[in-house]
Structure 1
């Protein structure tokens, strides 16, 4: 009888001890890792650009070179058509993307988040619209087409840590839609990410002094302000619709993030090709993050 009880006790101890070990193994590592985040409005595949010599087929190689040469790990794109996203995936081995369409008739534009599959695992994803009804496909306020934020929940494979990545494209012309989109973004980031680490990138079509950017900065840090090292590159990021040369005129592309991330650097990339042409009418913004 004593032998049977001892055997039963040993089995129970082994079972519960294994359960504890499994639970501990599933906990995220306390070690930190680094990866490079970025935002890049890649300019849609416009017929007018083909006529001016700046069509997608001309500039896509240079654009993918920027991504490779500057070693992006996770980045949000705006405006890209389905054929452009397919081209980028083909030119960037080891990357996949999560995207969602938006825009006017036909919803040809996409907000797409590209990521290195060796570094990150997608746990969840979704979308919301910048409008009075953000959970439904809709046009907001005085805008003339749909604008969205697509979000992705990632796990860092090396450490098991999780974070949210929000990819944004605000409306570009009329002011009410831009102004009201800021509070919607803040509310939805809180709702979706809660207290979890979060990165929010995109083309906000808004300069830093506007109320919508101030609303976002009340919740999230601007990588521009948080870099441990001196900022690199030019200040401004936007050249103007369909303009591929010259000086960018304002800063409307941002990387925002929660305090969970340390910002090692901040760069606006102005690489050119083919007689000083930029690969897009926006310059990409990137930061190396420690997490």
Structure 2
């Protein structure tokens, strides 16, 4: 069963993040760079009045996604029941997401990724408004909230990292779309500038728009339609409305994949349908990417992390977190709890180096926390700024009656 998580840093830190879970088969080049197939797909929310309902579309969508087998999918517009339906029909994928109205409420910008290939190192959400940390906030003329879900991934095949940012701009307010583009551009300053970024979304505006110009100005992002070696179905648009095989034509590319610091091999709009049934009222955009050569960094290795087995804790009881690595690290741990809509200003708890290369810390359960399957994540940074994270194999059941 998939859970909705927040990160508990010592106690409780952030708003809810959902994890829900095809084996990696990406082609690897001789140089060790792996191809990365990314898809952006507006799934159309579950509207019973649509000419093609979600119940009719789901089998077509499942067949399509299993055939295409993308590595990561940035989805837009799906409601919680749809997020779970996609999850149930895509074995081997995990997902990160949050309803735009908080918890499981409203549409999700869910990111699906191959669990066997990618490890999420960080993840968060923000709202496209003047108060981006306020759940469900609006500011710029849009009547419904718009948001971003992002994650920092590590590719297990190459040990290379990248950010994946997924969004859905407003369909009515041009001002909101422009302001949203400006906020996303500004928020890139929070990322490590040496790590590539992939931006997916339904931007509800064509490539010639001001929003697109903002995001591609000064080499902020590159558009694969300008840089890719191969362009497939360039004459199509991306909104089909369940009946337009052309997707509105070449000038109606409102769904994009933009990239920063990563090479684009191909880009495609796929106008797949099955006997007149469309998986969605949008066509997906698919890009095949190749990591650029990045300067190798020596990240600290986390060894023999405990607990290795699941633990049950009552209020007042503690768990010992311990691992081995090189000496002189800054080490902290955080707890990922299956809770929703909880926020706190607490910080990560330290792990102390009690002996050379031996790090130990403790976490004590409190009476107000009830959780099943909480995860322990250890984070380390060396003196050169190289970092690493690892999740303990053992999970925590806290104040759970068996």
TM-score by length of 1: 0.83
In the TM superposition, what is the alpha-carbon distance from 1:188 to its structure 2 partner? 0.8
Question: Residues 45 and 230 (structure 1 numbering): CA distance in 2 closer, same or farther, change over 3 Å?
Answer: closer
Q: What does 1:136-285 correspond to in 2, within 5 Å? A: 136-137=134-135, 138-218=137-217, 219-232=220-233, 234-239=235-240, 243-246=241-244, 247-249=246-248, 250-259=252-261, 261-274=262-275, 276-285=276-285
Contact in 1 for aligned 2:196/2:260 (Cα 8 Å): yes
Identify which of 114, 123, 129 aligns with 2:121: 123
In the TM superposition, what is the alpha-carbon distance from 1:39 to its structure 2 partner? 0.3
Instruction: Please tell me whether residue 110 in structure 1 is matched to residue 108 in structure 2.
Output: yes
CA–CA distance in structure 2, aligned partners of residues 107 and 212 of structure 1? 27
Which structure 2 segments of 5+ residues have no match?
Answer: 1-30, 292-402
Question: Residues 158 and 70 (structure 1 numbering): CA distance in 2 closer, same or farther, change over 3 Å?
Answer: same
Partner of residue 48, structure 1: 49
Question: Residues 223 and 265 (structure 1 numbering): CA distance in 2 closer, same or farther, change over 3 Å?
Answer: same
**More strand, by proportion:** 2
Contact in 1 for aligned 2:48/2:54 (Cα 8 Å): no
CA–CA distance in structure 1, aligned partners of residues 286 and 101 of structure 2? 25
**More helix, by proportion:** 1
CA–CA distance in structure 2, aligned partners of residues 135 and 193 of structure 1? 20
Contact in 2 for aligned 1:164/1:193 (Cα 8 Å): no
Partner of residue 96, structure 1: 94
In the TM superposition, what is the alpha-carbon distance from 1:103 to its structure 2 partner? 5.7
CA–CA distance in structure 1, aligned partners of residues 289 and 36 of structure 2? 6
Residue deviations 1:181-206 (CA, integer Å, cap 9, x gap)? 11111111232343321100010111
Identify which of 53, 60, 63 aligns with 1:62: 60
CA–CA distance in structure 1, aligned partners of residues 36 and 271 of structure 2? 21
Contact in 2 for aligned 1:142/1:174 (Cα 8 Å): yes
**Greater shift after overlay, 129-138 or 83-92?**
129-138
CA–CA distance in structure 1, aligned partners of residues 97 and 39 of structure 2? 16
Question: Residues 230 and 171 (structure 1 numbering): CA distance in 2 closer, same or farther, change over 3 Å?
Answer: closer
User: Could you say what the CA RMSD is over the residues aligned between the two structures, in angstroms?
Assistant: 1.7
Q: Secondary structure at the match of 1:289?
A: strand
In the TM superposition, what is the alpha-carbon distance from 1:234 to its structure 2 partner? 4.2
CA–CA distance in structure 1, aligned partners of residues 150 and 130 of structure 2? 19
CA–CA distance in structure 2, aligned partners of residues 46 and 93 of structure 1? 25
**Greater shift after overlay, 142-151 or 65-74?**
65-74
Q: Secondary structure at the match of 2:85?
A: helix
Partner of residue 80, structure 1: 78
Partner of residue 16, structure 2: none
How many pairs align? 253
Contact in 2 for aligned 1:103/1:145 (Cα 8 Å): no
CA–CA distance in structure 1, aligned partners of residues 131 and 192 of structure 2? 19
Which structure 1 segments of 5+ residues have no match?
Answer: 1-29
Contact in 1 for aligned 2:99/2:108 (Cα 8 Å): yes
Contact in 1 for aligned 2:60/2:277 (Cα 8 Å): no
